[in-house]
Amino acid sequence: MEAAKVLLGEHPFIDPSDGWVFCPSFDEQKDTTQEKLLRYIPDSRIVWDDVTWLRKGIIKELVVLTNGSKYRCTFKSYEQGRDKAQGAGKGWVWFDEEPPLDIYGEVSVRSEAGLPLYIWMTMTPIKGMTWVYDRIYLNSSNPDLFVSTATWDDNPFLTAEQKAKMASRLTAAELKVRREGRFMRQVGLVASWFDRMVHVMDMDGVPDGDFWFGVDFGFSVPSCGLWVSVDSEENVWVFDGFYRKGLTNPDIKSIIEYREKKVGLNERKVKRVADGAQASDIKELNDAGIRIDAVVKQSGTDHENWDEWRAKLMETLGRVDEYQKHPKILISSALVAEDEEGNAYNFLVRELENLRWDEVKNESGEKLPKSVWGKQPNHAVDALTYILATIENERRNGTGGIVRRTPASALVATQVIPTAESIITTMKKANAKSVWDGLN
């Protein structure tokens, strides 16, 4: 609205002048800033013969006639980089969503000699406590800055039903950002949503669905493999796995073949994934006949890193679903390993309950949070999130999806998952390698 009023000569304190409008991308421009300006500016005031187009449907430069003069609004994208933020001075600039700091800095000196430059930014702080938080939001003593915040309740066009539906799709942290417009920083436990009384259960059979296997390779640190079934309601059943130091790739191959045959998965399609950075391990297993695909550790968004994105994936599935009344991540109580003292523990549960966001000390010794995971063991969490990330990327790209079978609201007891004792006994009878001792 500010830009339209300036171009139309109706702004209370900004004279009509040329300006820039920035968006994250030109595709977003078409449905956001461009659409709004064309709605607020009468068609009769637009000099269509002078309007230039980037491509079909996307305006490069909009020309508006006011008091006999033509004023130009040039659309730009953050994707163009800092160089495209250079040029002759402008009277005003509108940033839609948070700009990169280098672009903001370049634009800040685009004023005409002797004339003021007006900059406004409309944004939701989805990137967290970035430079905008430090330089603008907290800089309340600067008389040249004015900050105004708004919530969903300030939008008179949003109905209570719409707000309730939107809220049901967001995590608690996302709600503070999206609904309240608050800057948030990742602190504390990564899986603060996790509750072993809610998420852990006894599974007496193999849940039916699409079968996945995620592996995080190790040797001096534990190797971890997890088998997961995703049913037609997109519930994620973590029903089997292993966790042990000293495993070679031939050992892992033997475990995969034995476990999948034991529970009947050798006759079902299992999608297997692992960290793409462990290319040599993936290749060795592929060459040995165990198909494993590489996961590229990228969030796929411009506002989240890999750790932030997969933490959000876990939380979205881990919180109790409003309609199903239970979470979508369900973990078998049989994911058992032994510590150095011989004590049994659920290895995925232990990692979820201990993994924290990292912290760094500043010069004064104050601990500040970082948007990456800490140094606590996360081999099982890695294996799980390789699966979740692949499923989400396939959904985004339209290359995969959930096979619609009978919902696994109750377990389909096709075959009983063998206990640690039965596996060890079976392998010892078969003169198996000692590496199997202690594995479930």
Measured between alpha carbons, how far is 140 from 440 in angstroms, rounded to an integer? 58
**Other beta carbons less than 10 A from residue 259's beta carbon:** 22
Counting residues of the chain whose pLDDT is more than 90, the rounded percentage is 48
Q: What is the DSSP letter of 47?
A: -
Query: What mean pLDDT is predicted for residues 34-40?
Result: 94
User: pLDDT value at position 105?
Assistant: 87
Contacting residues for 137 by C-beta, under 8 A, at least 6 apart: 147, 183
Task: Give the pTM.
Answer: 0.56
User: pLDDT value at position 356?
Assistant: 86
User: pLDDT value at position 408?
Assistant: 35
Closest CA to 80 of 21, 20, 25: 25
Joined together, the tokens standing for residue 134 give 């430090």
Measured between alpha carbons, how far is 206 from 413 in angstroms, rounded to an integer? 6
Query: What mean pLDDT is predicted for residues 403-429?
Result: 32
At residue 407 the predicted structure's pLDDT band, cuts being 50, 70 and 90, is: very low
Give 360 or 202, the one with higher predicted confidence: 202
User: pLDDT value at position 266?
Assistant: 78
Kindly tell me if the per-residue pLDDT of 145 is higher than 70. yes
Task: Give the tens place of pLDDT for each residue, 239-249.
Answer: 999 999 999 99
Measured between alpha carbons, how far is 306 from 364 in angstroms, rounded to an integer? 29
Residue 363: strand, helix, or coil: coil
Q: Which of 121-125, 136-140, 375-379 has the lowest mean pLDDT?
A: 136-140
Measured between alpha carbons, how far is 380 from 383 in angstroms, rounded to an integer? 5
Closest CA to 125 of 155, 146, 149: 149
Q: What is the CATH number of domain 196-436?
A: 3.30.420.280
Strands 367-373 and 357-361: antiparallel
Q: What is the CA angle 346-425-378, rounded to 5? A: 25
User: pLDDT value at position 180?
Assistant: 83
Distances (CA, A) of 75 to 28, 103, 405: 11, 14, 48
Kindly tell me if the per-residue pLDDT of 439 is higher than 90. no
Measured between alpha carbons, how far is 434 from 440 in angstroms, rounded to an integer? 13
User: pLDDT value at position 14?
Assistant: 92
Q: What is the CA angle 377-381-384, rounded to 5? A: 155
Task: Give the tens place of pLDDT for each residue, 256-276.
Answer: 999 999 888 877 899 999 999
Closest CA to 121 of 152, 151, 92, 89: 92
Tokens 């995080």: give the residue: 216
- Calculated CA dihedral for residues 284, 285, 288, 289, nearest 10 degrees: -140
Q: Are 356 and 189 spatial neighbours (Cβ–Cβ below 8 Å)? A: yes
User: pLDDT value at position 379?
Assistant: 96
Counting residues of the chain whose pLDDT is more than 70, the rounded percentage is 84
Contacting residues for 423 by C-beta, under 8 A, at least 6 apart: 258, 262, 436, 439, 440
- Calculated CA dihedral for residues 48, 54, 60, 66, nearest 10 degrees: 0
Q: Are 438 and 244 spatial neighbours (Cβ–Cβ below 8 Å)? A: yes
Task: Give the tens place of pLDDT for each residue, 288-337.
Answer: 999 999 998 887 666 678 888 898 899 888 988 666 678 999 999 999 99
Mean pLDDT for the chain? Answer: 83
User: pLDDT value at position 113?
Assistant: 67
Q: Which of 127-136, 285-294, 423-432 has the lowest mean pLDDT?
A: 423-432
User: pLDDT value at position 228?
Assistant: 97
User: pLDDT value at position 323?
Assistant: 65
Tokens 């309950």: give the residue: 353
At residue 440 the predicted structure's pLDDT band, cuts being 50, 70 and 90, is: very low
2-178 homologous superfamily = P-loop containing nucleotide triphosphate hydrolases (3.40.50.300)
Q: Could you give the residue ranges of the DSSP H alpha helices within 108-248?
A: 131-132, 160-168, 172-178, 196-199
What are the domain boundaries of the chain?
Answer: 2-178, 196-436
Q: What is the CA angle 259-265-213, rounded to 5? A: 70
Kindly tell me if the per-residue pLDDT of 206 is higher than 50. yes
User: pLDDT value at position 57?
Assistant: 92
At residue 184 the predicted structure's pLDDT band, cuts being 50, 70 and 90, is: low
Joined together, the tokens standing for residue 200 give 């852990």
Give 172 or 28, the one with higher predicted confidence: 28
Specify the DSSP element, H or E, that contains 277: none
Specify the DSSP element, H or E, that contains 394: helix 379-397
At residue 401 the predicted structure's pLDDT band, cuts being 50, 70 and 90, is: very low
